[in-house]
Amino acid sequence: ARCFGMNMPKFHCRRQSGMNFGYVTEKRVNSSVRDSVTALFYGISICKKIETEVKGGLQMGVSMKFTDLDQYLFGQGTNYEVYKKLGAHPTTYRRKKGVYFAVWAPNAQSVSVIGEFNDWEEEANPMEKVGPIGVYEVFVPGAKIGQLYKFFIVGAHGEKLYKADPYANEAELRPGTASRITDITDYKWKDATWIKNREKFDEQVEPMAIYEVHPGSWKKHPQSEENEKGFYNYREFAHALAAYVKEMGYTHVELMGIAEHPFDGSWGYQVTGYYAPTSRYGTPQDFKYMVDYLHQNKIGVILDWVPAHFPKDAHGLANFDGTAVYEHADPRQGEHPDWGTKIYNYGRPEVKNFLIANALYWVEECHVDGLRVDAVASMLYLDYGKKDGEWVANKYGGNQNLEAIEFFKHLNTVVLGRNHGTVMIAEESTAWPMVTGDAEKDGLGFSLKWNMGWMNDFLEYMKLDPYFRKFNHNKMTFSMSYAYSERYVLVLSHDEVVHLKCSMLEKMPGELPDKFRNLKAAYSFMNCHPGKKLLFMGQEFGQLREWSEERELDWFLLNEEPHKELQNYVHDLLTIYKKYPALYAGDNDPEGFEWINADDGDRSIFSFVRKSPTKRNNILYVVNFTPVDRPDYRVGVPKKKQYKLIMDENGLLEQPKIFKAVKQECDNREFSFAYPLPAYGVAIFTY
């Protein structure tokens, strides 16, 4: 507004969603740009009305009133801070303390708020419909922080519905399904230095070693009547996790199952409370403390985020006002037959607004550093997991979900545009083009993409008996043929160690000693291959059992020497990963990687170099994936230099060994040196 030279009331000086113009394509101005500009001018016309309401005694304040401007922006899908209006917000109205409630139920016959403050009386606090968009609001004097509530909705067909608040910031501990009044504004952050430094973070050229964690099963207390599952509170979890992650050397944690969900066994992937950190581990303030504490310990926080689907629980979003509000009405568009869940209607502006504002809520209100977006492929393809007759083609007759594509462009542009240094990571399991491409160039605009192709090939190779690996050599080299088509994260996630897939250690062939040696070689290959890194909890020390959310990790295994050695080995890998820019700064630069020998299939040996942008401290990597010693092994090298062995299959060397290249042809190179490569040997040199 100031750009247009307009004399705006103080109200408009707040950061309003309409001020963010979204993305612009090369050939057209996106509708959100036009609508945002329109909203600015539209806002002028309602300013006098707002001022009149305020002066007329609306003492709850503009921030607690769903104004005409709020309605307009919400109807355009650009009210990015709508969570500050919808939901439950403690405030003062006409000198009385209470709570302002607002909910979107466009086809309801009537809505009231029920809770502990009115003995759940359905008629005690009817809500007033505000404008044609279908938002209802009411101020309830005497309602207090900590009290439970729901919305009582008489649906479009007269049905009685008891719904949790879609915008609630806290929920009742399951199996309870009510929402809880809380105040999300009363936490005082101490991570200003982290947030300021984050603005300069560039995931393309900086290290990212992510530790994927399920808070409810990383560590547990003994079960008790007060804590039947033994969950750690967010605050104590923060201290324990920060100490461990710092000691190991990870840069980020990725947390599963944070948004409120009714069923433990869903791991948090069937969400009912998108704006509420799960009450299993404490309050929203406890959650913010955890993020804050991790930041103070220089650890980034990424959350799993699930905009692909939601469950059919009666208290949730499904059939919210007796009609399909958040989902498509046609089950061919609105349901996943395999998952038994509902699919969002990404073409409805208010639904897009709900999801985009939710992403901004976690990043801006809760200070998280990024979101890993679950099941992106299921959103992009209209026929994902469906048979003929179970889906509806787009207007061009194809299977691409055009509305979801537009949603992703809008989402990523707004989140990343408003929050420099944060990341949006796609879990996309197909070859959809330009997932990490710029929205302006018709990409989806993600920062990074999980490399599922690499993961599948890598695990298939590692499971093989070493004798048969020579026939599958290309599984380990194929990834470099597409390594620069997207910006990738190499992932060994929770999905790979459940449902009879075995833990990482148990996937390896041979007897137990061979399993450990195979896994060390595998982790070293992952560590030196281009791409950011993600490893699921427990796999760093050789968890034997598959992961289960019902029990904590088998920490007792660290009393056994092989498991402790593996943990130390992963620590050493992370140490050199962060120390040498050659291993991360050129992840997206074809000039940063060069095969020395990609064709030594008969011996199942791989060798390559990672080049530093500064040309100093480049890395030469060699690995032997068979149990055969190669005492006469010779490796070709790029230059006649000294090569310093800094790490082998036993870990970091206290005294690095120096090898001098000589003029002797090997691997089609003019220079080389000899090095005894042990069975399952690993050699990491700097030069």
Alpha helices in 361-502 (DSSP H): 376-380, 402-418, 452-463, 466-469, 474-477
- What token pair was written down for 567? 């943990």
Q: Smallest Cα–Cα separation from 547: which of 616, 497, 496?
A: 497
**Is residue 514 annotated as a catalytic residue, yes or no?**
no
Pairing of strands 642-648, 651-660: antiparallel
Cα–Cα distance measured from residue 422 to residue 412, given in angstroms and rounded to the nearest whole number: 10
List 191, 374, 486, 540, catalytic entry: 374
- What token pair was written down for 317? 């979003």
Which residues, 6+ apart, have CB-to-CB distance to 504 below 8 Å? 492, 496, 497, 519, 522, 539, 542, 543
List 350, 427, 428, 486, catalytic entry: 427
Beta bridge partners of 642: 660
Kind and range of the H or E run holding 153: strand 148-154
Which residue do the tokens 């490796």 mark?
635
**Is residue 427 annotated as a catalytic residue, yes or no?**
yes
Pairing of strands 370-373, 593-597: unpaired
8 A C-beta contact, residue 369 and residue 422: yes
- What token pair was written down for 212? 């994927």
Q: How many CB atoms lie within 10 A of CB 265?
A: 9
Does residue 175 have a cis bond before it (omega within 30 degrees)?
Answer: yes
Q: How many CB atoms lie within 10 A of CB 421?
A: 19
Kind and range of the H or E run holding 41: helix 31-55
Kind and range of the H or E run holding 682: strand 682-686
8 A C-beta contact, residue 290 and residue 234: yes
Which residues, 6+ apart, have CB-to-CB distance to 89 below 8 Å? 64, 99, 100, 101
Q: Smallest Cα–Cα separation from 368: which of 436, 307, 294?
A: 294
For 178-299, where are the E strands, in sequence order? 179-180, 209-213, 252-255, 259-260, 273-277
Cα–Cα distance measured from residue 588 to residue 447, given in angstroms and rounded to the nearest whole number: 12
Cα–Cα distance measured from residue 111 to residue 128, given in angstroms and rounded to the nearest whole number: 8
Which residue do the tokens 């955890």 mark?
290
Beta bridge partners of 103: 136
Most distant CA pair in the chain, distance: 91
Catalytic residues: 374, 427
